[in-house]
Amino acid sequence: VKVTIKEVAQAAGVSPATVSRVFNDTVPVDEETRARVLSAAAELRYVPNAAARSLITSRTTTVGVLIPELSGAFLSQVMLGLDNAARRRGFHLLVSSAARDSSSATDALRAMRGRVDGVIIISPQLDPLPLLGELPDEQAVVLVGTPERQTSAAIVAIDNAGGAAAMVRHLVRHGHRRIALIAGPEDDSDARERRQGYMTALGESDVARDENLEVRGDFTEDGGYEATRRLLATGSRPTAIFAASDSMAIGAMSALREAQIAVPDEIAIAGFGDLPVARHVDPSLSSVHVPSVELGRLALERMVFAIARQGQGAHTHDRLACTLVLRNSCGVHESNDAPPRRHHP
Closest CB to DNA among residues 23, 80 = 23
**What residue ranges bind a second copy (CB under 8 A)?**
1-2, 47-52, 54-55, 58, 60, 62, 69-73, 75-77, 79-80, 83-84, 87, 92-98, 104, 108, 110-115, 136-138, 220-222, 225-226, 247, 250-251, 253-255, 257-258, 276-277, 279-282, 339-343
C-alpha–C-alpha distance, residues 204 and 60, integer Å: 50
For the chain, list the strands marked E by DSSP: 62-66, 92-96, 118-122, 140-144, 154-158, 179-183, 214-216, 240-243, 268-270, 287-289, 317-320, 323-325
Positive or negative torsion for Cα 328, 332, 335, 336: positive
Subset of 253-292 contacting DNA (CB under 7 A): none
- Interface residue with DNA among 1, 25, 28, 103 (CB under 7 A) is 28
C-alpha–C-alpha distance, residues 173 and 204, integer Å: 11
Strand 92-96, strand 62-66: pairing: parallel
Which of 127, 299, 288 shows the shortest CA–CA distance to 194?
288
- Interface residue with DNA among 10, 20, 200, 316 (CB under 7 A) is 20
Q: How far is the CB of 10 from DNA (least distance, A)?
A: 11
Q: How far is the CB of 37 from DNA (least distance, A)?
A: 9
Question: How many residues of this chain interact with DNA, rule: CB under 7 A?
Answer: 31
Closest CB to DNA among residues 26, 336 = 26
Answer with the entry of DNA, a second copy, none that 221 interacts with (C-beta below 5 to 8 A by kind).
a second copy
Closest CB to a second copy among residues 82, 191 = 82
Rule CB under 7 A: is residue 30 a binding residue for DNA?
yes
C-alpha–C-alpha distance, residues 325 and 338, integer Å: 10
**Burial call 175-206: b when 16+ CB within 10 Å, e when fewer:** ebebbbbbbbbeebbbbbbbbbbbbbbbeebe
Closest CB to DNA among residues 29, 129 = 29
C-alpha–C-alpha distance, residues 89 and 304, integer Å: 8
C-alpha–C-alpha distance, residues 40 and 95, integer Å: 35
Answer with the entry of DNA, a second copy, none that 203 interacts with (C-beta below 5 to 8 A by kind).
none
Q: How far is the CB of 128 from a second copy (least distance, A)?
A: 19
C-alpha–C-alpha distance, residues 118 and 287, integer Å: 34
Pair 52, 16: CB distance under 8 Å: no
- Interface residue with DNA among 10, 25, 29, 325 (CB under 7 A) is 29
- Interface residue with DNA among 10, 38, 44, 53 (CB under 7 A) is 53
Rule CB under 7 A: is residue 308 a binding residue for DNA?
no
Answer with the entry of DNA, a second copy, none that 319 interacts with (C-beta below 5 to 8 A by kind).
none
Calculated CA dihedral for residues 144, 146, 152, 155, nearest 10 degrees: 40
Answer with the entry of a second copy, DNA, none that 261 interacts with (C-beta below 5 to 8 A by kind).
none
Closest CB to DNA among residues 9, 248 = 9
For residue 135, count other CB atoms closer than 10 A to its CB. 21
Q: How far is the CB of 25 from a second copy (least distance, A)?
A: 18
The one-letter amino acid code at 237 reads R
Q: How far is the CB of 16 from DNA (least distance, A)?
A: 4
C-alpha–C-alpha distance, residues 93 and 86, integer Å: 7
**Contacting range for DNA; rule: CB under 7 A; set: 29-37, 115-123, 176-184, 329-337:** 29-37
